[in-house]
Amino acid sequence: MLKRLIVSTFLGGMMLFGAPQTALADGHREAHGKNAAHERHEAHERHEAHEAHERHEVHEAHAAHERHEAHEVHEAHERHEAHEAHERHEAHEAHEAHERHEASERRRDWDNDYRSHRYYDDDDYYYRSYGPRCYGYRDGYYYDRDGRPYSYDGRPYYHRWDDCDYYYRRYGSWYGPGYCDRWDYDHGYCY
């Protein structure tokens, strides 16, 4: 019996001192598990936020690239349009210079030669036939229906037309309506 008593006392003491240690270790392990789960959740949220930020940056970079490309295409188109208008203007000037040169070789005044061969007479046959070229012309400029001068290379197109100026000198008013609906950049007048 004494043996039983010693063994039961020893086991009781073990239970008294060992059980709390085991329970404490279990609680520590459980708390550590909760902490690790919390850390994994926070790491996952940080990863999700980082990926969302990267997707946003990629989208912004793509949108900026598209805006830049659209701007470059627009500028290239503007340069092309200006170049074509300049080429048409140069061709017109070259044609006119050629006509003046031919007239000078014939030892004639180009304007008088042109006027005398284009039916400048009292019945104004010329203006009935070619007068629409003076529509919208005022002092070297052609104006559209809104009162804006037609432009070449960003500047109002200026060119004196003797036909239109002659009509104004002769009658005291400009020929036709004060606007031009169909501007011909190749020849530099209304048609």
Mean pLDDT, the chain, integer: 76
Asked whether the predicted pLDDT for residue 173 surpasses 70, the reply is yes
Whether the model clears a pTM of 0.75, i.e. scores above it, the answer is no
Centroid of chain to Cα 182: 27
Whose structure tokens read 């900026």?
Answer: 64
State the pLDDT confidence band at 167, using cuts at 50, 70 and 90: confident
Phi and psi at 152, nearest 5°, equal -135, 120
Mapping DSSP to helix (H, G, I), strand (E, B) and coil, where does residue 141 land?
A: strand
